[in-house]
Structure formats: C-alpha cells, structure tokens
Amino acid sequence: MDYLLQLAASPTAWIALATLVVMEIVLGIDNLIFISILTNKLPEQHRAKARRIGIGMALILRLGLLSTIAFIVQLTEPVIEILGQAFSWKDMILIAGGLFLLWKATTEIHHSMDPAPDDPKSATSGVTLGFAAAIGQILMLDLVFSIDSIITAVGMTEHLPIMIIAVVVSVLVMLLAAEPLAKFINDNPTVVMLALGFLIMIGMTLIAEGFGAHVPKGYIYAAMAFSAAIEVLNMLSRRAKQKALVDEA
C-alpha cells in the first residue's frame, strides 16, 4: 500500500503513466484496424460479439503477459543465428505476425477486387466456421501486438501498476472505438482498401523490426494520418458532388 501511495504522490509516475497510456493507445490502433476489418466480414449479428471477444482477449493476454515480465524480457535475447543474423523469440514472433498480416491483407484485397460468388448451400456452416476462424486470427494478432505492447511498456517504466493501468485504459479505449470505427469502415468501401494498405505497411514494419531494422513508429503513423486525411478530403469531395447533383435535379 505504501508503494502505491508513493507512486500516486510522484509527479514522475503520473508523467510516465500519461506517456505510456498514449503509447499503448497508438500501438492499439494497428490491432483495432485489423479487428474492424476482420469482423466486418462476418454476418452482422456476429460482428459486435466477435469484436468484444477479440478486444477482451487482448486485455487478458496483455495482463497475463505483464504477470510474466521476467519471461517477456528474456524474449529479446538471441536464441538462434542464421547467416550471421541473430534472432530472438520476439524477432521471430514479429516476423510471423508480419507475414500473417501481409497474407491476410493481400487476400482481402484480392477478394475485394475479384469477389467470389456466395454459395447459398453452405451459408449456415460458413457462418460458424467464419466466426471461429475470425476469432482465431484475432487471437493470433492479439498475441503479436500484445508482446510488442508489453515490451514497449517494460522499456518505458519499471513500475508494474503503471503498466497495468496503461494497458487497461488503452484496451478500454479500443473497446469504445471499435464499434464506430468498424461502422465507418463498413460504410465507406474506399476506406477498407486504405485500411488494408495500412495493414500491409504494418506487416512490413513488423518484418523489418524482426530482422533488426528499427523503423520509427512516428513515421508510420504520420504516413497513416496523412493518407487518412487525403481520404477524408476525397469523401467530402464526393459528397459535395452528390449533393450538387441532387440540388440540380
């Protein structure tokens, strides 16, 4: 209790908490975009449930990983060397996650460009398998993003309560933002393609970091913000043209 009171009275601890909360929220954007795109592929009645399960599991994974910080820190130690390049468990997890994101985003882009006709005979079984597959893929990416998130938290502060609060706050923000973001993506098809492009960029970043090439996150998120701003201007332009046509009619 005295330890918690000392933290609460420390301005440095509050600054560290605020900084870490912002960092965790920013890192959660990648996870949230993936969850939104994936759950929008499910039948409408299953989407909200899948999002809640996916984000809830992200919280459970991150809190579980925080309880094993000593083990998580060891994930950054090299365990294998290939052609002179040393790889840790973290590196291999990031590479696997990046490859998965590239595969998933590329597959979704292909389906968007060349959609397959629906098979009414398999509609019922497709819903069940689709839901299970979606949850499985969300959990896989939750694990990748959670490990990255916790290692970032460990690097920023040594106080476990601060890490726990930051993780809980960031996941709660994800939970609140999930529904509006998924609806926005679903209502704007061009945004889907932009979001898939973001996932490809994130996947490439994960692979690069797995191979030891540090990519400043600020550049990545600045590029995403710029692209999103351009898309918003395009959307406003299209709406203005549609409104003009309606007024003329």
* 53 and 127 assigned to the same domain: yes
* 211 and 223 assigned to the same domain: no
Give the pair of three-digit tokens for residue 140.
Answer: 């896989």
The pLDDT tens digits of the residues spanning 203-249 come to: 888 898 889 888 777 777 788 788 888 888 888 888 888 888 887 76
Q: Domain total for the chain?
A: 2
> Which helix (H) or strand (E) segment is 243 a member of?
helix 217-248
Cβ-contact 38, 138 below 8 angstroms: yes
CA distances from 249 to 43, 155, 235, 245, 246 (A): 36, 61, 21, 6, 5
CA distances from 226 to 1, 82, 106, 222, 234 (A): 46, 37, 22, 6, 13
* 133 and 227 assigned to the same domain: no
* 48 and 115 assigned to the same domain: yes
Which pLDDT band holds residue 127 (cuts at 50, 70, 90)?
very low
Residue 116: per-residue pLDDT: 57
* 24 and 42 assigned to the same domain: yes
* 112 and 231 assigned to the same domain: no
* 119 and 28 assigned to the same domain: yes
* 154 and 238 assigned to the same domain: no
Question: CA 98, CA 80: separation in Å to the nearest integer?
Answer: 19
Residue range(s) defining the domain that contains residue 228: 216-248
* 129 and 209 assigned to the same domain: yes
> What are phi and psi for residue 81, nearest 5 degrees?
-130, 130
* 144 and 116 assigned to the same domain: yes
* 5 and 98 assigned to the same domain: yes
What does the pLDDT average to over 143-156?
A: 75
* 163 and 229 assigned to the same domain: no
> Could you tell me what percent of the chain has a pLDDT over 90?
0
Collapsing DSSP to helix, strand or coil, 27 comes out as: helix
